[in-house]
Structures are given as C-alpha cells and as structure tokens.
Amino acid sequence: MIDWVGLHSNAWAQIQADLARDRLSHALLLAGPAGIGKLDFAESLAASLLCDQPQPDGRACGHCTSCTWHASGNHPDFRRVRPEAFEELSPDAETDKPASAKTDRKKSEQIRIDQVRGLEAFIQVGSHRGRRVIVIEPAEAMNEATANALLKSLEEPPAGVHFLLVSHAAERLLPTVRSRTRAVPLGVPSRPAALQVFAAMTPSFKDGNLWLNRCAGALRFAIDLATAAEKRPEASEDAIVEASLIDALLSQLMQGPRMDALALAKSCEALVKGDLSGTRLALLVDWLQRWALDLQLVRLGAAPMVFPEHAATFQKLASGLNDDRLSHYPEGLLEARRLCGHPLNIRLFLESVFSRTLALYEPSA
Ligand SMILES: [Zn+2]
C-alpha cells in the first residue's frame, strides 16, 4: 500500500487544519498532473471525513463501522461519480434505464448528466450518520450541460455534504464550477520520495528511475506501468494495454527511416479498439508526443528526458532528420490529439499519424 497521504502531506495538513477550525470548503478541487495519486488522496480524505474516530493526524481509523462500510464499497453516505467506461457500473451510479440500454451501447467516457442529477436526491435526504461525501473523477469528463446540472448541487449543499472533485485538467472545467470549489493543488512527489516508495513496494523492480522518467515523475503511473511491463498478476488491464502500446511504439519508432508505419498502425489498432478507444488513442498520441520531444531535444544537442536509455539510438535518428518536417511535427500531433475524442476510423487515423512520423526522415527538397 502506498501512503499517498504522506506523499502529499502538506495538502493533507492544510485540509485537516481547516476542518479543525470548521472552515473546510464544502467543495474541494484536487488538481494536479495525472498519475500522482489524486484519486487515492481523495479516497483517503473521503474515508477520513466519514470515519467515526479518525486518528490524531486525521486519517481514517480503518476499523470503525463507517470505515468497514467504505472499504467494502457500501457506505450509504458515499458516492463516487466516474464515467461508465472507467469502471463497471457501480451500485452508486444506479439509473432507471432498462438493462438492455446499458449493454447495447458503447460505455460512455464522459460522466452522464443523469449520474449528476442522481446526486440531488442523495444530498437532500438526511444522512445516515452525519457527513456525506461525493467524489467526482475526473471532473473534466463533464460536458457543459452536466457541469451545469452539478452547479445546482454545488451552490448551496446542506451542511455536512462534501464534494471532492478530482481533475488533471482543471483549466477545462467551467469557470462557474471552479469558482464554487476551493483548489487543492497536488504536485509530483519528489524523486527521492518516489524512488523510496518504488523500492519499498517492489524491491525486485529493475529500475524505478526508468519508469519515473517515462512518466515525468508521476508515481502512480510509473508503478502501474512497471507492474504491467513485468507482467505481474496485479497489473491492471489499462496498464497492460499502455505498456504494450509503449513497447509497440518504441520497437518501430526507434528504427527511424526503417520503421513500418502500416504494421505499427495495425498493431496499435488492435491495442486501442474497444469501449475506451478514444481514451487509448489519446494515450498513444501522448506517448508519441513524448518521443517527439526527446527527438527534438537530441536534435538540439541535449539529452533525451523521457527515454534517456535510448540516447544512442536517438543520436543516430537525429542525424538523418528533415528539420523542416520536424519543426511541424508537434503541431500535427496536437491536431491528432484533438481528433481522438471524435468517432473516426482508427486504422486510417493511425496510418496517417505514423506516415507523418516516417516522413520525418525524407530528404529535404
Ligand atoms: Zn474509522
């Protein structure tokens, strides 16, 4: 178990101090880069707010009735709101739709408006034991109508109701939502602290630094990917797909002008297709952007930051680059990133992206 509260101890201490003075905002926006344990932090905070006898530092006791309920996922005063595609439909997200409606369509990668409307009844009925806590993650997965529906609940919730919004793209939230929450910025854990966690958790991991570099210090991502790359039984399906995508990309991208763009498109398509195709395509483009960043750094005479272990190969690739193409390549990736959320032909999309990558090595006219 990783101590995410300890890794973000300043934010935790501030929240506990506010709580002790009865000045904690009823809606917190836990914001920061993806993969640093924001959701884990939110879950610990929810457990602590619901706990009957919190410890002196505010953490949940872990064994009272409330903690037992929360741990089993059955706390009557707790709701977690996430896009359906991110997890199996939980009892929390109960809707009155017939079962067939749920199974016939693609699961949403957005939080649906009826999930948010369902909260109104929950916060208006009396609580079972005092406080009620709602975790919304990721908060940016709400379109404008859904966010507006949430505003009503955010405006004047009854006493004892706590909203914990989790976001790694807080700038994309409606200003009206942001202004009704108090921001709690969470940063990337320090490298020594992250390496310590890595080592303590999994002493046999080969190289914590390798994964922390790849994930820009985002510890949760780094551990998830390391777990998946080493094919451990506890690896999540998402992380296995992501680690496979990175493998597929690197195995071709590092061949430079000899890469097989069509074969790469085919293998990546097999990995991204399904309910989460939009999310996974975006993930793929993110990794391509990181690889391109390293290529640009090496071209400028600097060391690669994300994949430093491939420094020698990057050197070789950089010597054969078309600088004009390279200078326009990032814009193309940004444009591709914008298209990911829209329905598209995945194979054609990938072939186009990788053809542009291959064109980086075409001789200048
Ligand atoms: Zn407790």
| Pairwise CA distance, residues 49 & 131, whole Å | 7
Determine the 3-state secondary structure of 52 from DSSP: coil
Distance, CA 58 to ligand 1 centroid (Å)?
10
Q: How far is CA 245 from the centre of its chain?
A: 16
Instruction: Tell how far the Cα of 133 is from the centroid of ligand 1, in angstroms.
Output: 14
Query: Distance, CA 60 to ligand 1 centroid (Å)?
Result: 5
Q: What is the CA radius of gyration of the chain?
A: 23
What local confidence, expressed as pLDDT, does residue 342 receive? Answer: 82
Neighbours of ion ligand 1 (CB under 5 A): 51, 60-61, 64, 67
Which residues are bridge partners to 184 per DSSP? Answer: 30
**Mind listing the pLDDT tens digit for each residue in 139-186?**
999 999 999 999 988 988 888 999 999 999 999 999 999 999 999 999
Distance CA 117, CA 112 (A): 9
Q: What is the pLDDT of residue 85?
A: 81
Cα(17)–Cα(109) distance, rounded to whole angstroms?
36
Q: Which two tokens stand for residue 262?
A: 């069509």
Ligand 1 center to residue 91 CA distance, Å?
A: 22
- Give distance in angstroms: CA of 174 to centre of ligand 1: 35
Residue 350 CA to ligand 1 center (angstroms) comes to: 49
Distance 126 CA to ligand 1 centre (A): 21
pLDDT mean by block of 10 residues, the chain; 365 residues: 92 96 95 94 97 96 95 93 72 37 63 93 77 95 94 88 95 94 95 87 73 92 88 88 96 97 97 90 96 96 96 96 95 94 88 97 86
Give the Å distance between the CA of 55 and the centre of ligand 1.
8
Specify the pLDDT at position 348. 95
Ranges of beta strands (E only) in 9-153 are 27-31, 78-81, 132-136
Report the predicted TM-score, pTM, of the whole model to 2 decimal places: 0.77
| Residue 161 · residue 132 · CB < 8 Å | yes
Determine the Cα–Cα distance for residues 99 and 37; give it in Å rounded to an integer. 33
DSSP 281-339: HHHHHHHHHHHHHHHHHHHTT---SS-GGGHHHHHHHHHT--HHHHHHHHHHHHHHHHH
pLDDT of residue 152: 85
